[in-house]
Structure 1
Amino acid sequence: MMSGEAESIEAKMEDLKVGEENQACEQGDGVDDDSKEDIVDPWNVATSSSKGIDYDKLILRFGSTKIDDALLERFEKITGHKPHHFLRRGIFFSQRDVHQILTRYEAKKPFFLYTGRGPSSTSMHVGHLIPFIFTKWLQDVFDVPLVIQLTDDEKFLWKDLKAEEAQKLGYENAKDIIACGFDVNKTFIFSDMNYIASCPEFYRNMLKVQKCVTYNQVKGIFGFGDSDCIGKISFPAIQASPSFSNSFPAIFGTKKDIPCLIPCAIDQDPYFRMTRDVAPRLGYPKPALLHSTFFPALQGAQTKMSASDPNSSIFLTDTPKQIKTKINKYAFSGGGASVEEHREKGGNCDVDIAYQYLTFFLEDDDRLAELREEYSSGRMLTGELKKELITILQKMVAEIQERRKTVTEDLLKEFMTPRKLNFKL
């Protein structure tokens, strides 16, 4: 999925005239001028707030629906599984049509999962793991097929990369993704550069989407300018096409009525608002979505993680020593300026990066609540909180590194070969 440079989607949304979600987005832009402090689109995520993006305002602006207790209760009742801690803690906080997916599951009707990765570096960082950790859990809970799109073509168009370099990065990232533990019998990973050339059905869906969206509309949605290459303008149709089951004839045959559920960060929502508008006109079901919050850089919510800055995050190639050094040296602290001040006033968990990372990677709710109480009261110092995080990240990254060693070229080829997957239609 995408990231790069472009104008803010917010400044362009007034031009958009397609679809109910896009209209809701236009109406939401005027709700509160403070929301304009946050820039969120597929290429830029920026905020002036030390606490990060205001997600409630973002829901209003994008016209999505907040994940509430009623949805979580229904999820648990239908699946028999306690909602993932990403759901319980609001890390995945927004949705579109998830109730309809649950209704299909309850009626024993099929659906599939779709997520993706825009490869821009040889190694993923822990922030990149969030959608894959959650998607794997969804795959295990629902026992459904999954397609993972590697948008190497997008990175070639937006980055200073040769096509061969972008494709190679995609293969390396695919190995990291496989190391998350996906079931090879239920998962298809594909490179856009390879798959589009070999699958007429996928290409036909791209063309159908392209024909339904005008140049003015795509400028309004994505903020493209007159100097952008035509590849960028046509790319949204490529990211839309995996939403349709007949884009994968080896998996679904000619069936075009099987919907998908897309777990992704909310900056990807513009692609799927466009897709949801186009889908009924093509005779396809609208994709459902689960939106996640953004994973903060080590230096704090106002900064951005970058593959070119190794100190902005923890990478999956980092050694235990590097993880310890990065957390201790670079993780923004919400603690007091001195031990005495911290003991007196306590730490601020809302801005402390060690605590924020623990909300993602510490599964034990009781332990997380205990750490919040101890740190907020001043009884626990910043160094002690960071030590908790270091232990968890060292273990998690080491386990992924061990699994990645087992990802042979043959296994990679198996994941990336179009084939029948193991599920019931």
Structure 2
Amino acid sequence: MTTDNSAPTSGSIMVVGGGISGLTTALEAAEVGYEVFIVEKEPSLGGRVSQLKQYFPKLCPPTCGLEINYKRIKDNPKITVITMAEVDKVDGKPGDYTVKLKISPRYVNENCTACGECAKVCESEISNEYNLGMDRCKAAYLPHNMAFPQRYVMAPSMAQDDRDRCKEACKFDAIDFDMEEKSLDLKVGAIVWATGWRPYDAARIDNLGFGRYQNIITNMMLERLASPNGPTRGKIIRPSDDKAPATIGFVQCAGSRDENHLPYCSYICCMASLKHATYLRAQYPEAKIYIYYIDIRTPGRKYENFYKKLKEDKNIFFVKGKVAEVGEEEGTGNITLVAEDTMSGDKVRQTVDLLVLATGMQPNSAVERPNADLTFNSDGFIVNDFKKGGMFAAGCANKPADVVTSNQNATGMALKAIQTLVRR
């Protein structure tokens, strides 16, 4: 197959990002016969979904969707997974791209069996970014219990004494501190950017107190607290004193629908907070939960029914009003907040044990813009140019979306990538 000017066309597809959208795109293309490269900057696939306790629509744990996808990847010789890799540059045109990758050293080779002996002897610790910095982990670490590939990582900051101990403890000659950063060039015919999203930096929202007061957390932090493999093994407790919270407040649209931060609706935040209310209710049947909102957005009948059921709970209070300011009660660590109830016009003052900010979804491409011929909207999402073709954005790289919508979109982008190869 050749392009119009007789340049050779690659039959390969590169998927940038190994989250749920990237996995779906890669599997859809590979299982109809196309060679696919999954390029993931983290040490493991799974993306944001792997950090969740449960996800909609069925409130499944992440193992439910990820394990079967990992098995499909293992069983498919058409898929090559490249972790700890970032796209440095993309040159070329649809059907004929040259991609330069930058691959960071893991300091662990494929001999690793994830036995964990290195972690046992390692004394150095680093911030656990998988748990959003809420705890620390060994500098010799498995990214998380669902990591794929199931292979340890040695942090570059590891002290020399620990390096020696880890190498000595490894029975499989899997640790290699001589590894260096390397480059790799790939020839591909189409690229799907499934670079996902990150929680908006709540510290930038001055009036909501994140970072100043210990008992203010974000929605993703609550998700990790509730997760069995999280920093508290699934127990939702206050960061300041490990106390079980009796009153919990949620601030919706924390940074979203705000011209000073994210001007758009992040789509997932309302349903995430409603889900979090069920987490809290399961652990604390008598806890009082206050949800401060501009609008509750529940797309679809199933989600609307979920919302209606929570409204029947006598200890869940929905307050239509935007939180204007927060503070900390002296001596207790409790959080005080002030909001205007737009239904009554009254100013509401409330004290809660724990405050959760429903921070918005920011595309990774807004912060780390790919070095490629792509079009971005003003919010940093990648705009698909189907007329030009060749490169496409899937899932939350293209727009705010939940898991179901992201997967549907990823299937479509796999087809668009295939069409690029077939038509040229």
More strand per residue: 1 or 2? Answer: 2
Shared fold per TM-score greater than 0.5: no
TM-score computed with the length of structure 1 as normaliser: 0.25
Structure with the greater alpha carbon radius of gyration: 2
